[in-house]
Amino acid sequence: MVTIILGLIGLSLVVIVHEFGHFLVARAVGVDVEAFSVGWGPALLTHKGKKTEWRLGILPIGGYCKLKGEDGFRAAIEQKLDFIPADKGSFYAAHPLKRIAIALAGPFFNMVFAVLVFTFVVAIGTTIQTAPNKIVLSSETGATMQAGSPNPADMAGLQTGDILQSIDGRPIRDYSDLQEIIASNPGKTLSVQILRNGSIQHLTVTPRLDSNTGAGVIGVYPWIDPLVSSVKEQSPAAIADLRPGDKIISANGKPIRNTIDLMNSFKAANGPIELTIERNGQNISTTIIAKSLEETGISFVSITRTDKASSLPDAIAKGAKETLSTFTLTIKSIGLLFRGVNVFKAVSGPARITYLIGTAASEQIKVEGLAGLVPVLSFLAFLSVGLAIMNLLPLPVLDGGLILVFFIELARRRPLSAKTLYRYQFIGAAFVLVLFVIATMSDIFFFTGR
C-alpha cells in the first residue's frame, strides 16, 4: 500500500505541474478556466472560486485543467455550425498565438520543474554505489547478445582487465559513467581510451541496441574484486563463517580474480563449493552451500561516489545541463522505437511507472529515511521531461497536435472548420487508444513476469 501511495503521489505531481502550466497561462491571456482538478473521476471535495472550481477527484491519478470552450468543436458539430463558437473568455475565442502559448505552457512547466528538481538534487548531493571502470567480457560467461555474432566488446578488441579511461573524449570515473554513455549511444561508433597492462591504447566500439530496453550494450560486466563488505544474517555465507574483510581467492581449487569468476564457479558446481579465503594475512578454507552467488548473502566492496554542486550558481547550471541531457536522451529513445525495439518491454504504462516510483521511494526510505527520496526526485524530473516531450509530439489530442493546428490557422488567416477539427481529434483519440493498449499490455507482461 505504501508503494502504491508513494507511486501515485509522484506520478500525479508531474501531471499536476503540467496542468498548472496550462492554468496559469490561460488565466494570463484571458481564457477562463472552468475547473482545475487534482485527480480524476467524481469530485470528493470542491471549492468554487471567483472564476474556477477547484476539485479533488476520487481517483488519485494526475489531474486536469478544463478551459472554457476547449471542446467547442463538438458543440459546433451538434449544432451543425461551420465554425466553432467563440464566446467571450473561451479557448477558441483567443488569438491563435495565445492558444499556442497555453498549449506550450504545460510542457514548459514540466521542463522548469525538471530544472528545479535537478538543481535541488545536485545542491543536496547524490550518493551512488558503483564499481570501478575495469571490465570483464560477458563472453567469458558464455553470454552473447546475438546468436552467431560476437559481442561488440569482443569485436572491438577489448579484453578482461581493461580499464576504460574515456569514451569519445569524456572521462570515465567508474562503471556508472561507462553504463550511461554506452546505454545512450546504440549504433554509434565510439572512440575508447583504455589502460591495459600499464600502457594506453585506443580502440573503437559500436554498442548494439538491446531490443528489450532500447539501450546500447557492448557485452561487459564490471570487474569487482571478491572482497566481502557484508554478510546477511543466517545466510549460506554466514553459516560458512564468511566475514566482512574476507577476500575469496579460490573456489573448488580454481583461482578467483573477480566476482564474475565466482559466479561462474557457482554455475559450474553441482553441490557444495570449497572456498579459500584470505583473512588477516592467513588462508582459511570453508564450505558454502548455495545454488548461485546471489543466494549466498554476500555483498562485495563497491565504490561510493557523491556528486554535489560547489555553489548555488553551479547547482543551477548543473540542473539545467542535466535537464538538457535528459531531453536529448528522451528524443533518442523515441527514435529507437522505430528501430526494432520491443515496445511491450521498452514502453511503460501508468501502472508500471507508479510501481517503479513507489518501489524506489519505499526502498530508499527504509535504508536512508527521508534522504532516500533524493534519487526518487531525479526519477520524477526524468519523467517530467518525458511528459513534456510526449506532449509536444505533433499528434492530435496532444499539445503538439493543437500547436500544429493553430499554426495552420495562422498561416491560413482563418480558423479550420469544426468538421476538420473533429476528424483530426478523432484520429488522435484512436492513436492514443492504441498507445494505451500497448502500454497496458506492456504493464501486464511486466507484472506477470513475461
Radius of gyration of the chain (CA): 27
Phi-psi region of 41 (alpha: psi -120 to 50; beta: other; left: phi over 0): left
Q: Which residues pair with 220 in a beta bridge?
A: 137
Cβ neighbourhood burial of 144 (10 Å; 0-12, 13-18, 19+): middle
DSSP calls for 101-114: HHHHHHHHHHHHHH
Average pLDDT, the chain: 83
The whole-number average pLDDT for the span 8-33 is 88
Q: Cα angle at 423 between 418 and 424, to 5 degrees?
A: 95
The whole-number average pLDDT for the span 432-439 is 69
Query: Distances in Å between the alpha carbon of 327 and those of 17, 169, 194, 323, 429?
Result: 17, 21, 30, 6, 26
Structure confidence by residue, pLDDT tens digits, 356-368: 655 655 565 555 5
How many residues are given for the chain?
A: 450
Residue tagged 570487474 (cell numbers): 223
pLDDT of residue 42: 86
The whole-number average pLDDT for the span 112-124 is 91
pLDDT of residue 352: 58
Structure confidence by residue, pLDDT tens digits, 143-161: 666 666 788 999 999 999 9
Is 19 marked active-site? yes
Q: Please compute, for residue 19, the number of CA atoms within 13 A of its CA located in the half-sphere on the CB side.
A: 21
Cα 130–chain centre separation: 18
Q: Is the pLDDT of residue 103 over 60?
A: yes
pLDDT of residue 144: 62
The whole-number average pLDDT for the span 173-183 is 90
What is the band of 86 on the pLDDT scale with cuts at 50, 70, 90? confident
Single-letter amino acid, residue 86: A
What gap in Å lies between CA 399 and CA 428, rounded to an integer?
11
pTM, two decimals, is 0.75
Residue tagged 548461485 (cell numbers): 292
What gap in Å lies between CA 224 and CA 257, rounded to an integer?
9
pLDDT of residue 206: 94
Domain edges within the chain = 2-125+371-447, 127-224+302-307, 228-288
Give me the percent of the chain exceeding a pLDDT of 70.
80
Lowest mean pLDDT among 242-256, 347-361, 392-406, 429-443: 347-361
The whole-number average pLDDT for the span 181-187 is 88
Q: Which three cell numbers stand for residue 438?
A: 500497448
Structure confidence by residue, pLDDT tens digits, 51-79: 899 998 887 778 889 998 877 766 666 66
Establish whether domains 127-224+302-307 and 228-288 are of one fold. yes
Residue tagged 472550481 (cell numbers): 53
26 or 9, greater pLDDT: 26
DSSP calls for 210-236: -TTTS-EE-SEEE----BEEEE-TTSH
What is the CATH code of the structural domain delimited by 228-288? 2.30.42.10
Q: Is the pLDDT of residue 122 over 60?
A: yes
Structure confidence by residue, pLDDT tens digits, 341-387: 665 566 655 555 555 655 655 565 555 555 556 777 887 888 888 88
Cα 414–chain centre separation: 42
Alpha helices in 175-311 (DSSP H): 175-183, 236-239, 259-268
The whole-number average pLDDT for the span 406-425 is 77
The catalytically annotated residue of 19, 70, 322, 409 is 19
Q: Which three cell numbers stand for residue 159?
A: 579484453
Overall CATH class of domain 127-224+302-307: mainly beta
Query: Distances in Å between the alpha carbon of 309 and those of 128, 177, 313?
Result: 15, 18, 9
Lowest mean pLDDT among 82-86, 227-231, 242-246, 390-394: 82-86
Query: Exposure pattern of 68-94 as b/e (b: 16+ CB <10 Å)?
Result: bbbebbeebeeeeeebbeeeebbbbbb
What gap in Å lies between CA 37 and CA 20, rounded to an integer?
10
